[in-house]
Amino acid sequence: MADNSTQKIRVVVSGCAGKMGKEVVKTAIADPQLQLVGAVDKCHTSEDAALVAGVGDSCQVGISSDLSETLIRTDAQVCVDFTHPDVVLSNTLSIIEAGCRPVIGTTGFSAGAMDDIAKALEAKGLGGMIVPNFAIGAVLLMKFAEEASKYMDHAEIIELHHNQKADAPSGTAIKTAEKMLEGLKASGQSKFGGTNGQEAETITGSRGGTYEGNLHIHSVRLPGLVAHQEVLFGARGQMLTIRHDSIDRTSFMPGVALACKKVMNLSGLVYGLEHVL
Ligand SMILES: NC(=O)c1ccc[n+]([C@@H]2O[C@H](COP(=O)([O-])OP(=O)(O)OC[C@H]3O[C@@H](n4cnc5c(N)ncnc54)[C@H](O)[C@@H]3O)[C@@H](O)[C@H]2O)c1
């Protein structure tokens, strides 16, 4: 039988022993267009990535703690990162430095970090993606919220996640806020909640964090949750609520697989899955 493995996209998973990384390992093994060639994590080093992910059969890919060495040794074309906000910028720059295309799911980027990544990609002539939410339902929520913001200028975001999430607000909430502000500005307005009364917080933080354009974001952290978000719009005598729930991490995997394929033909930084759908 002909060996067509060389035509598969060579993928390394960074953060492969984490909740998301394990799902990505399963996806990379199952997808006929992808080939898992490397796996990186600070935990479970030297163990088989598939066994750690709970696949059942060994994939002969041992977990390494050295990202750069793994990318170069495996001649990786794409590296998917689901690690931690503290390390994601340096990981992404290492991925680009190794001549590999980053597909970044880790959230919690600082404002300047995306500029640094865009410049590094440009210098290497590579494409890369940063995707705050790979679930199609969440991408649609953002699109609908942007549209609604053209017509309803009183809105707040509530995002709800499991209690091990490091960053707040979520990357999805920030991206949703950006989109909603674009929608609001398209209608000639610049501020949400313009007719709200005078406010005084008797407990600091009660009104949540405030994004540009006076858009309030509230972050809930509880065990039992996965990743959820509501956008509430209010107007005289009516409410519109748009809600998305990821109840299982498999919800993100079609988007991750798609990004791994699409990034091969991109140039520069693409922020958000909607650009490759
Ligand atoms: N974009 C999306 O659609 C999406 C969806 C869910 C989660 N996330 C984000 O993905 C990230 C990971 O989430 P998770 O729930 O899988 O977290 P997790 O804590 O379960 O997994 C993170 C993994 O990264 C490893 N890690 C951390 N620092 C490392 C380092 N310096 N070197 C090597 N490995 C390191 C950890 O050992 C762990 O195995 C978070 O930022 C989360 O918000 C994004």
Q: Across all residues in the chain, what is the average pLDDT?
A: 96
Whether 5 has a pLDDT exceeding 60, the answer reads no
pLDDT at 6: 58
pLDDT category, 4, cuts 50, 70, 90? very low
Q: State in Å: Cα 142 to ligand 1 middle.
A: 23
Pocket of ligand 1 (CB under 6 A): 15, 17-21, 40-43, 82-85, 87, 105-108, 131-134, 165, 227, 252
Per-residue pLDDT averaged across 251-257, rounded?
Answer: 98
Q: Which of 24, 40, 41, 87 gets mutated to test ligand 1 (max ligand atoms within 8 A of its CB)?
A: 41
pLDDT at 72: 98
Give pLDDT tens digits for 156-194: 999 999 999 999 999 999 999 999 999 999 999 999 999
Whether 1 has a pLDDT exceeding 60, the answer reads no
Per-residue pLDDT averaged across 238-256, rounded?
Answer: 98
pLDDT at 110: 82
DSSP letter string, 56-90: SS--S-BEES-HHHHHHHHT-SEEEE-S-TTTHHH
Please give the share of the chain, as a percent, with pLDDT higher than 70. Answer: 98
Give pLDDT tens digits for 81-121: 999 999 999 999 999 999 999 999 999 888 799 999 999 99
Give pLDDT tens digits for 193-212: 999 999 999 999 999 999 99
Q: State in Å: Cα 188 to ligand 1 middle.
A: 39
Structural domains in the chain? 5-130+250-276 (3.40.50.720), 136-246 (3.30.360.10)
CB 221 within 8 A of CB 170: no
Q: State in Å: Cα 88 to ligand 1 middle.
A: 9
Q: Which of 82, 87, 92 gets mutated to test ligand 1 (max ligand atoms within 8 A of its CB)?
A: 82
pTM: 0.94
Whether 2 has a pLDDT exceeding 50, the answer reads no
CA dihedral angle for residue 85, residue 271, residue 221, residue 26, rounded to 10 degrees: -80
Whether 267 has a pLDDT exceeding 70, the answer reads yes
Instruction: Respond yes or no: is residue 191 known to be catalytic.
Output: no
Specify the ligand 1 atom closest to the Cα of 252: 3
pLDDT category, 56, cuts 50, 70, 90? confident
Instruction: Respond yes or no: is residue 165 known to be catalytic.
Output: yes
